[in-house]
Every structure is written in C-alpha cells, then in structure tokens.
Amino acid sequence: MTKQLRSVVYMFLISLFFASLVSAVKYLNEKTIASNQALKLQRIILKVLEIPVEKNTPDDQISRLFMERIKNIQVEDRILYVGYEEDAHTILGYAFPVGGPGFWGPIQGMVGVDPEVTKVLGIAFTKHSETPGLGGRITENWFSSQFKDLPLHPIDGDKKIFYLKPAGTTGAPNELDAITGATNTSSAVEAFLNDDLDYFLKELWTAVEERE
Amino acid sequence: MPNLSSKKEIFLTGLWKDNPVLRQVLGICSTLAVTNLMVNTLVMDAGLIFTVCMSSLTVSLLRNYTPMRIRMMVQTLIIASYVIIVDSIIKAHLPDISEALGPYVALIITNCIIMGRCEAFARNNPPLASFLDGLGMSLGYSLILITIAFIREPLGFGTLLGIRVMPEGFVQWTIMIMAPGAFFTLGILVWISKYILPNAKNGVERK
C-alpha cells in the first residue's frame, strides 16, 4: 500500500469510528434535549400569561399545568396559545410567538395579552444573539416587565403600539425605556414587535368580535 | 515508561509550574467569558478536563499508527468528537447551564490548550503520561478559572454559587460581570504569578 493510500484509508476509518460514536451519543440524548426545549417553551407561555410558576416547580407539574390550562390553535401559519382559568373554560388570555431581526441575529419572544385584547399581560424574549450586557439586556426583568399593562390599539397610520425612548424621556403609557447603549437592538425590537403585535391583534380582534 | 517521580513531575508541571493560563497564556477566551458565575466556571472546567484528558489519551494511543502528515486532521477530529459529546450531555442534563454558557461549550474545540497538549506532548509520549499531562494542564486551567470566578462573582453579583455572601446593601460592581472585570482580574493574577512562580527560562529567582 502506498503512503498516500494508507493515509486516506486511516483517516476514513478513524472518521467512521468517531462519527459513529458522536451519532450514538446524540441519538441517546435527542429525546431529553427535545423535552427540555418543550418544557422551556411551556414555562415561558405560562409565565407570559401570568399563571404563577416558580423557578423550582418540578417539570412534570409544569407539563400537567400546561395540559390543563393551555390549548393551542393554528392562525394561518402561526400558533396561538389560549390560556384558561382554573375552571378550564373561562379564557384568561392569549399568548403568541413574536420575532424578527435584531442587531446581530434573529430575536424570538412570546407575548401574552388579556382576553379582551386591550393590554399586554407579559412578554419574554427567549432567543437572541445580541451583545451581552448591552442588547442582551432585553432578557432582563426590568426591560420585559415594562410591557406589562401596555395598552393595545390598532395601528393607525404612523402611530405605533409602543415606542422605545431613551430612559428618562418617557411619559405616556406607550413610551417605554430603551436600552442605553443598544440603540440598534432597541429600534429592531420596536420595529418587529409592533409589526407582530399588529398582525396578531387584528386576528384576535376579529375572533373576539365574532364571539360577542 | 516514566517512573513514579517523573509522573508526578508531569502532573505538577501542568498544574502549576507551567500553568496553561498563567505561563502559557492559553485558553484566555473562555477564561474571560465564563468566569462571572462559579457554576458556569465549574461546568466549563469539567468539560475541559474531560476533553483534554481523553484527547491526549486517544492521540497517544494512536501515535504509532497515525501518519505524520495527517496528524493535525486526526487530532482535530478526535477533539471535535469529544467536545460534541460533552456539549450534547450538558444540553440534555443541564439545560439551564447550557443556555448560560451559550456557544462556549462548542468552542472548547478551539481551546488552544487541547491541541497544544496533543501536539507538544501526547503524540510523542505513552498513554498514561499523556493522560496525566492532560489532567495536570486542565486542572491548572481550572484552578485559575475558579480563582477568577471566586473574585468576580462575589464582587459582581454579591453571591457565590448563587448564595448571597456579601452583606446587605453591598453595591455590586457591575464591571466585574462584564469583560473588563475579567481582564483586570486575570492581569493581576498573571502579575502576581510572575513573582511566585519560578522563572521558567533560567531558573533565577527574582528579588
């Protein structure tokens, strides 16, 4: 066997061995990873709908609570989660995923609104790649908790649902503090969140009107 | 086969005398990135210890069969495989920490300490010695990371392993959570180590 051929065969065999090893480990962990992600989503949906969940609530309890209180329906190509009170038929609110381009990469989040679709119950940003300590602060509590009780109305012309303004210059209930030092992230969040809210709110308003 | 005292020597060289972070200034990226919380630091350390030891051992076991010209490819393949295994296990069993560490677990692949040990030691030495060298080096790395986290977490968050250690009303030093805090802490440690560690080049003690 020539030297070159030996190298090729050696590399092939060693790649085969390690690729099989890695595949086996991945395969064994696949289910756990998927269920971790599902649980994370369930926790977030419960949180934005203000269904009390502690950080240390056991996972099976979260799943049970989610099964009892949340139903999902398809709105065109997106999912809408409907939250119910403990009696299981009074609607407590709606939750829906939002997302759009951030400064460095896509941002994803979840928004909860009340059953009359008049205000925000809660919001959470779940996935982003913004600069840690600057744009990354969208996941901090002070930022997301500002959205609580944000009044909702249809977008009319240029008037947006909410504005992010430099901290200290905000007054009206639809003006929230932007993140200092992260102007691009703030304006990206303002843009995609207004768009997504508008889209879902229109769908929801139609649904609420039909119900009444 | 090295005798007992040289095995000890190999281990101690990595752990202290030729410490990868303080003396070789390797693995700095992860040193700066994960040390603002002790929990993250410990998981990173565990991941690195596993990867360095196993990669060194594997490279050493294959050292007589691996063709010289493709050894780097083989080493990278071995390292990458172990890192993917670590990443997958952390994702499955420690999802919160996996989230906090973000891309850094996968980036263990690029940690120069691992390839450095494979090239500098494991490819020319027997398996046990290579394993010990890897263990010494990765523990040396861990020791420094834990020291930095021990300074950064209490000052930055007022906690240690999530438990409050600073008195009520302590003003958190936000800078310690961010990258500059890590640079300052590491810089000071390297500075101190210059005085404590014996001079590697000529063995002359400083005044």
Quote the mean pLDDT of chain A. Answer: 84
Residue B204 has pLDDT above 50, yes or no: no
Six-digit token pair at A48? 């934005």
The answer to the question of residue A23 being in a domain is no
* Nearest by Cα to A48 from A138, A118, A129, A114: A114
End-to-end CA distance of chain B: 38
pLDDT of residue A183: 84
The answer to the question of residue A83 being in a domain is yes
Convert the pLDDT of each residue in B184-199 to its tens digit: 999 999 999 888 876 6
Find the domain containing A109 and state its range: 69-211
Residue A154 has pLDDT above 90, yes or no: no
The answer to the question of residue A35 being in a domain is no
More confident residue, A110 or B103: A110
Average pLDDT of the segment spanning A108-128: 88
In which band, very low, low, confident or very high, does the pLDDT at B35 lie, cut at 50, 70 and 90?
confident
Of B78, B88, B92, the CB nearest to A18: B78
Distance from CA of B85 to the nearest CA of A (A): 6
CA angle B80, B82, B86 (to 5 degrees): 115
Identity of the amino acid at B56 = S
Paired strand residues for A80: A73
**Domain count of chain A?**
1
Residue A7 sits at the chain B interface (C-beta within 8 Å): yes
ipTM of the prediction: 0.80
Convert the pLDDT of each residue in A19-38 to its tens digit: 999 999 999 999 998 988 88
Kindly list the residues from chain A whose CB atom is less than 8 angstroms away from the CB atom of residue B88: 25-26, 29, 33
The answer to the question of residue A27 being in a domain is no
More confident residue, A14 or B13: A14
Distance from CA of B66 to the nearest CA of A (A): 8
Of B67, B85, B178, the CB nearest to A133: B178
Residue A133 sits at the chain B interface (C-beta within 8 Å): yes
This prediction's pTM: 0.76
**Cβ-defined contact of A36 to B177 (cutoff 8 Å):** no
Quote the mean pLDDT of chain B. Answer: 86
Distance from CA of B161 to the nearest CA of A (A): 16
Average pLDDT of the segment spanning A124-143: 80
